[in-house]
Amino acid sequence: MYVESCKSTFEKIAVFTRIPYTLFWLGIGSIDFLLGKLLIWVYAENSLFYNLLIMCTTLATLPLINIWFFYSFKRLMKELSLFFWENKEEFEIWYKNTENYIFTFNSWQAKFVTGFILIAGLATVLSLGLPFKSAMCNIAGLSAFAFLLIFCGTTLHTSIGLLITLRSWNEIT
């Protein structure tokens, strides 16, 4: 049975479609790390090596985890549909709606969770104070951290959506 589906948010963001998304996201994390090290070196800032490494690794891996969730969910639901749905059209409607809700940025819930994580994270950093003396390093670091928070918020929404779906499956069986 073929179910037409959408792409996950992080697959849509991968602008270079000729290379695998795995290489794209690992490349983004590596480039971010190198640019961060270059800015720290140029502006003679304190090297926060482990912070930069963790942030860049997270920027590279969270999208990959999200895409893995997307394809694992797709495979599992297609296999389970044979046991729990007699009407294939009913399954396709449920699947498309659920997949769109969990793995895209189309719902207000996804925007709310992501926005909440972004605002809470930026408010925390701004209330504690920016880490660098240089304005350029602070802007670059805050921008990269904002992207990281958006990725975290999107991944949190995906995880919550998967848990809700799992619970609803538990009620069905």
Q: Does residue 128 lie within any of the structural domains?
A: yes
The whole-angstrom separation of Cα 118 and Cα 113 is: 9
List the one residue out of 144, 171, 170, 122 whose CA is nearest residue 31. 144
Q: Return the DSSP state at 132.
A: -
pLDDT band, very low/low/confident/very high, at 168 (cuts 50, 70, 90): confident
The whole-angstrom separation of Cα 157 and Cα 120 is: 15
- Read off the pLDDT of each residue in 159-165 and give the average, rounded to a whole number: 91
The answer to which of 38-52, 105-119, 133-147 has the lowest mean pLDDT is: 38-52
**Domain count for the chain:** 1
List the one residue out of 20, 5, 30 whose CA is nearest residue 96. 5
The whole-angstrom separation of Cα 127 and Cα 26 is: 31
Its pTM stands at 0.81
Across the chain, what does the average pLDDT equal? 87
Q: Is the pLDDT of residue 1 over 50?
A: no
Quote the pLDDT of residue 80.
86
13 class by beta-carbon count within 10 Å (0-12 exposed, 13-18 middle, 19+ buried): middle
Q: Does residue 148 lie within any of the structural domains?
A: yes
Q: Does residue 4 lie within any of the structural domains?
A: no
Over residues 33-72, the pLDDT tens digits come to 999 889 888 888 877 788 888 888 998 999 999 999 999 9
What's the half-sphere exposure (Cβ side, CA atoms, 13 Å) at 139? 4
Q: Does residue 1 lie within any of the structural domains?
A: no
Q: Does residue 59 lie within any of the structural domains?
A: yes
Q: Does residue 46 lie within any of the structural domains?
A: yes
Over residues 87-102, the pLDDT tens digits come to 888 888 888 889 989 9
Over residues 61-90, the pLDDT tens digits come to 999 999 999 999 999 988 888 888 888 888
Q: Does residue 53 lie within any of the structural domains?
A: yes
Q: Does residue 136 lie within any of the structural domains?
A: yes
Dihedral sign for Cα 110, 154, 25, 71, please.
Answer: negative
Q: Where are the alpha helices (DSSP H) in the chain?
A: 9-13, 21-42, 49-84, 88-103, 108-128, 135-172
What range does the domain containing 53 cover? 9-172
pLDDT band, very low/low/confident/very high, at 157 (cuts 50, 70, 90): very high
